[in-house]
Structure formats: structure tokens, C-alpha cells
């Protein structure tokens, strides 16, 4: 019973933090509504492509920060081990379905990055570095490089956990992996439905100039 109050606090705070629509609000400063541009999502990537790149970077860091703060606060009030999946999950849900934008939001990848750093910096850092490198390399070829880069990142995460960490890190690993797959599944379903080809994952960029 002692855990009920802290858990309710964490659920509420995590959802509200995740709901903060930085992409939407900051884009309005440039008189643009991201829900009517590009992928029609309030996320760093859509802001980068449809508004401007510096603002996209700012949104990325703000969205990552709210994920990190959610986990940091939760740990401070005693939410640890397997329970850490609660703030992670509700932060992502808040980002997907913001209470401030009529339950619209973004993919949540930037927020996930902050969540991972909050859970274990040393465990996720190799995954993030490799994932960013892969995404950078294939960005000119594929319209949506994050799924491919993320898949490589998951492999790196698994290798890192197996060879460099003791069994005590298994809860952290499982939590990070579950949330990442949760985010990627949502992203795949959403983008597949709006992809012109119907094939989100392998949709190739058309670089032909008219």
C-alpha cells in the first residue's frame, strides 16, 4: 500500500511531462502548425524538416530532457528496478497523446533517448552512438532511417548487456528494450499508414529534381 501514492504521483507527472508539446508550441512562433506539415506529428524530425533545423535540434533536446526528468524524479521518490517501466511508459504515452493538443503528438524517439539516459547512461550510450552514425549514413537513401538505425542499436544494446554487464542490469536492459520496441511499433504503424508506397520501412527517397 505504501507504493500506491508514489506510483500515482509518477503516473501523473510522467504523463504531463510527456504531454508537453514543445514541437507544436515552438513551431507556432514561426507561424507553422506541425500537425498540418510533413508527417503531421509534433516531433523533432518533423520540425527539422518542415520548420527549420536549429529549431529541430532545440525540440530534440527538450523532448529528451522531459524523458530524463521523468526517470530522475521517479528514482528520487523510490521508483526503481522493474517499476521504472511505469514512468517510462507513461512519458511516452503522454508524448503520443498530449493532453494539451487534443491527444495528438509525435513518435517519441527523442523522449525515449532521454528515458534511456535516465535509466542507465553507460548501458544506452553505445547504442545511441552507433544508431546516430547509422542514421547519418543512410539518411540520404531512406526517408525514415530511424527504424533501421534503431534495429542496429538494439543489437548493440544486447551485445553491450551480455558482455559488459552483470545480471543485475537485466531489468534495465529489458525496460529499455521494451520501451524502444513500443516506440518503434507505434512509429511503424503510423508511418506505414501515411507512406505513399504503403511500405514505411523501406521507403526510398526520391532525389530526382524536376
The mean predicted confidence, pLDDT, of the chain is: 84
pLDDT of residue 143: 67
Residue 104 CB-density burial (10 A; 0-12 exposed, 13-18 middle, 19+ buried): middle
Assigned C-alpha cell, 151: 534495429
Q: What percentage of the chain exceeds 90 in pLDDT?
A: 48
Residue 209's pLDDT band, with cuts at 50, 70 and 90, is: very low
Q: Average pLDDT in the 139-152 region? A: 77
Least confident of 45-49, 159-163, 166-170: 166-170
CB 56 within 8 A of CB 44: yes
d(CA 130, CA 52): 25
What is the pTM for the complete model shown?
A: 0.84
Would you mind telling me the total number of residues written for the chain in this entry?
210
14-40 pLDDT, tens digit per residue, is: 999 999 999 999 999 999 999 999 888
CA 131 to chain centre: 13
Contact between 130 and 156 (Cβ < 8 Å): yes
- Distances in whole angstroms, Cα of residue 4 to Cα of each of 9, 22, 78, 96: 9, 30, 12, 25
Tens of pLDDT, residues 58-111: 999 999 999 999 999 999 988 888 889 999 999 999 999 999 999 999 989 899
Amino acid at each position: 500500500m505504501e507504493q500506491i501514492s508514489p506510483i500515482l504521483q509518477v503516473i501523473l507527472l510522467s504523463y504531463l511531462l510527456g504531454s508537453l508539446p514543445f514541437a507544436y508550441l515552438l513551431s507556432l512562433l514561426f507561424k507553422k502548425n506541425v500537425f498540418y506539415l510533413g508527417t503531421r506529428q509534433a516531433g523533432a524530425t518533423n520540425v527539422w524538416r518542415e520548420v527549420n533545423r536549429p529549431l529541430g535540434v532545440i525540440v530534440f533536446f527538450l523532448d529528451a530532457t522531459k524523458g530524463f526528468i521523468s526517470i530522475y524524479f521517479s528514482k528520487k521518490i523510490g521508483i526503481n528496478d522493474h517499476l521504472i517501466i511505469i514512468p517510462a511508459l507513461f512519458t511516452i504515452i503522454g508524448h503520443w497523446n498530449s493532453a494539451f493538443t487534443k491527444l495528438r503528438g509525435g513518435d517519441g524517439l527523442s523522449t525515449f533517448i532521454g528515458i534511456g539516459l535516465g535509466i542507465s547512461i553507460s548501458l544506452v550510450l553505445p547504442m545511441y552512438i552507433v544508431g546516430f552514425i547509422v542514421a547519418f549514413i543512410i539518411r540520404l537513401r531512406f526517408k525514415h532511417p530511424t527504424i533501421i538505425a534503431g534495429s542496429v542499436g538494439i543489437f548493440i544494446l544486447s551485445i553491450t548487456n551480455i558482455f559488459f554487464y552483470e545480471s543485475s542490469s537485466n531489468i534495465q536492459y529489458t525496460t529499455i528494450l521494451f520501451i524502444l520496441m513500443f516506440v518503434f511499433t507505434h512509429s511503424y504503424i503510423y508511418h506505414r499508414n501515411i507512406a505513399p508506397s504503403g511500405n514505411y520501412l523501406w521507403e526510398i527517397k526520391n532525389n530526382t529534381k524536376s
